[in-house]
Amino acid sequence: MLLQRCTQKIKQILKCRSVCNSMQMNTTHSFYNNYEATIHFIRYLRKRLVAVGTEPIKDRNKTRRAPKRLLFKFDAPNTYDFLSFNLKEWWQHKRDQFVKITEDYQYKEYVTLGSDLAAAKFVIYVGGKVRFKNHNEWLDKTKTREISKLPTEYDATYILEELDLNGYPLRYEHLDFIFGLYYLKKLSFRGCKSIDDWALDKISAEYPSLEHLDISECENVTERGLEALYRMPNLKRLTTTNFHGTAAFDLTCFMLEDVNPYLTCEVQQVKYKRISAS
C-alpha cells in the first residue's frame, strides 16, 4: 500500500511539472509573438499623453544633449549692462572701476615708504595738498620740483602734519590709505560728499594728535557723526556746516565743547538754502 501511494504522488508531481512547463512555454511564445503589438500599443499611449497635455514618457536610450546657448539673455538687465542702453551709467561705472584699480595699485607702490610718505604721495597723486613738519610750503601736483626731491625710501624725518583733500570724491576705502599718521595736526575734508557719519566714527579713533578738523560743506554729516568726536581729546578746532538746520546739530557741538574745554566749534551757515518741494 505504501509503495502504491508513493508511486501515485510521484506521478502527480511529474504531471504538475509538465503542465507548468507547458504554460511557461505558451506565455513566452505569446510574449514574443505579441511583441510588435505591445510596441504599437506603447506608441499609441504616448500620442494620447501628448494630446491630453501631460508629459510624455522619456526614452532612456536617447543621450542627453547640452542646452543650446542663446545669443541674447532673457534675465533682468543689470543697471550697468551695455545691452540695457544705459550708456551713460555704464560708462560711469567702468570709469569708476578703472580709477579704483589704478589708485589701489598706486598706493601699494608707496607702502614701503612708511605711512607718512605713502599717505603724502597718494594725496598728491589724487590732487590734494600736504605739508610736512618743519616745512612751510604746501606740496601739490603743480610743484613737480619739490615732489621729485621726496625720498624714495623710508625716512623718519618726513612727518606729515597737515593734509588737505578739499572737494575730492573720497571713497570709504581711501581712509585706510591715510591712517597711521600719529603726528597729524590738521585734516581737511571740506566739500567731500563721501564723508558721512560712518566715516567720522572711523576717523575719530585714528588721529590721537589731531588739533584741527574741517568737515564743512559735507552734506552727509549729521549730529550722529559728531557724537563720535569726543574720542579726540586733543581736538581744538572743529569746522562744520549744519546743512539740515536742526537744533540737535548745534546742541551736539555745545556738548562737545563741554566735554573738551579746549575745543571750539565753528558752525557755518548754508550758502544756498534748499527749497522744499512743497
pLDDT in tens, 154-182: 888 899 999 998 877 777 777 878 888 88
Is pLDDT above 70 for 82?
no
pLDDT bucket at 252, cuts 50 / 70 / 90: very high
Strand (E) or helix (H) holding 16: helix 2-33
pLDDT bucket at 237, cuts 50 / 70 / 90: very high
Is pLDDT above 60 for 256?
yes
The pTM score is 0.62
Nearest to 179 by CA among 227, 114, 131: 114
Instruction: Give the model confidence (pLDDT) of 40-64 as tens digits.
Output: 666 665 665 545 444 444 555 555 5
Cell matching residue 122: 597718494
Instruction: Give the model confidence (pLDDT) of 188-227 as tens digits.
Output: 999 888 888 988 988 888 888 899 999 999 988 999 999 9
Structure confidence at residue 5 (pLDDT): 63
Percentage of the chain with pLDDT > 90?
Answer: 24
Is pLDDT above 50 for 276?
no
Could you tell me if 218 and 194 are in contact, meaning their C-beta atoms sit under 8 angstroms apart? no
The rounded mean pLDDT for the chain is 76
| CA end-to-end span of the chain | 122
Q: Which residue has the cell 591715510?
A: 178
Structure confidence at residue 95 (pLDDT): 77
More confident residue, 10 or 58: 10
Where do the DSSP E strands lie in 15-87?
none
Structure confidence at residue 19 (pLDDT): 45
Name the residue type at position 162.
Answer: E
Nearest to 158 by CA among 185, 177, 183: 183
